[in-house]
Structure 1
């Protein structure tokens, strides 16, 4: 059963962050709060841990998890190319509810699933999550719920939903936020007049993105 640390107390947050970092280093899974929803996290550079994360979620390799990082410099280290427009998006909206899909550095030794050479990157605006990321490094993170079920609003709900696979949970109170907006900027990064596509509309609106991207932004097509 996962040990839950109450991060409203600084000493418990510090201890929980250390315990979570150790668990991640052993290839185990932890529950972490973000600014949008609770997430289940694994060491992004441990293929076995990422596979365990997907299994806990009930997902396959065709649904690779995004990677949370602590700062923009890490985004640039993990992405092969960061277009100027994406850099401006990050300066305006990160940390925050923006996930950007970019070409991954080809030299990275990781296996997030069937990514087609891309990586989805986000800097969360949540102090507990950022503290963990600074200690543990980049983390593969997906919402802390089984596939098809609503996201957990508490650490306790996350642990109950995910079962015995979780080793540590960091409790930052109830979180009922909207998931991040996901954009795919791989075509823009690869040049040839590429656009940026909204893959999932979330907390960041298309109008906000358009203040930077203008006509480069392509919104999802909705059926009628």
Structure 2
């Protein structure tokens, strides 16, 4: 049976984090709060656990989950390289609601799905979640909902959708904003032939286009012209 822990209570927080760490080590799923929406997480280096995450959401391998990390050092370890414009994004928006797609470090032994050699990385802005990530290492985390349904902004909604497929639910009350992270693709800054490389917005969310443009200037790809 799934366990639910109220992270707003100090005692339950400690117990919940311990149970979450144990669940991750067993290859099970957890639901955890972030600064954007609730996420369902698994050990990023356990292919069976990642597949369990995809199955729980009703998602195929063509929709690989992002990876949450506890800090910038882990971003460097997981990616082929971190270009200077990405360093500026990290300086401005991490921890926070910006997910950055870069070429993955080729030596990593993991299987997040059909990533085309990339990884989407974010550092969330929530102390309890960062504490958990420090203990578990990088977690594959996708929004805590069934594919096609709204992302959960309360743990009760996540539990209604994901049920017993998740071992541990960490409840931190309603999400502060309920707005998912913005996702940008910076792979062209790293891969060869990128003389006119741009950062492309894949999804607008917690960080606006204007905020990104303030940091990146003309490196940010212009929006599509209306038809």
TM-score category (smaller protein):
over 0.9
Larger mean CA deviation between 123-132 and 66-75 belongs to 123-132
CA distance in structure 2 between the partners assigned to 1:159 and 1:39 by the alignment: 11
Give 1:160 deviation, angstroms: 1.6
Structure 1 residues 22 and 222: CA distance shift in structure 2, 3 A: farther
Instruction: Report the CA distance shift for 1:44/1:91 in structure 2 as closer, same or farther (over 3 A).
Output: same
User: What count of residue pairs does the alignment treat as equivalent?
Assistant: 224
In 2, are the aligned partners of 1:102 and 1:120 still within 8 Å (CA)? yes
Other-structure match for 1:156: 156
The C-alpha deviation readout for 1:34-53, integer Å capped at 9, x for no partner, is: 10000000000000000000
SS of 1:41's partner is strand
Could you say which residue in structure 2 is the equivalent of 1:91?
A: 91
SS of corresponding position for 1:162: helix
1:52–1:220 distance in 2 versus 1, CA, 3 Å: farther
1:114-152 residue CA offsets vs partner (Å, 9 max, x unmatched) = 000000000000112111101111000000000000111
Alignment of 1:208 with 2:211, yes or no, is yes
Gaps of 5+ in 1: none
| Deviation (angstroms), 1:192 | 2.8
- Change in CA separation of 1:25 and 1:179 when aligned onto 2, cut-off 3 Å: same
Residue 108 of structure 2: aligned partner = 108
Alignment of 1:26-105 (within 5 A): 26-105=26-105
Superposed structure 1 runs of 4+ greater than 4 Å apart: none
Give the RMSD, CA atoms, in angstroms: 1.2
Structure 2 residues without counterparts, runs of 5 or longer: none
* TM-score, reference length from structure 1: 0.97
What is the TM-score of this pair, normalised by structure 2?
Answer: 0.96
1:217 is matched with 220
The whole-number CA distance in structure 2 between the counterparts of 1:196 and 1:42 is 28
Taking the aligned partners of 2:133 and 2:5, their CA distance within structure 1 comes to 17
Please give the alpha-carbon distance, in whole angstroms, between the structure 2 residues aligned to 1:18 and 1:220: 45
Matches of 2:78 and 2:23, distance apart in 1? 23
Task: Say which SS state the counterpart of residue 121 (structure 1) adopts.
Answer: strand
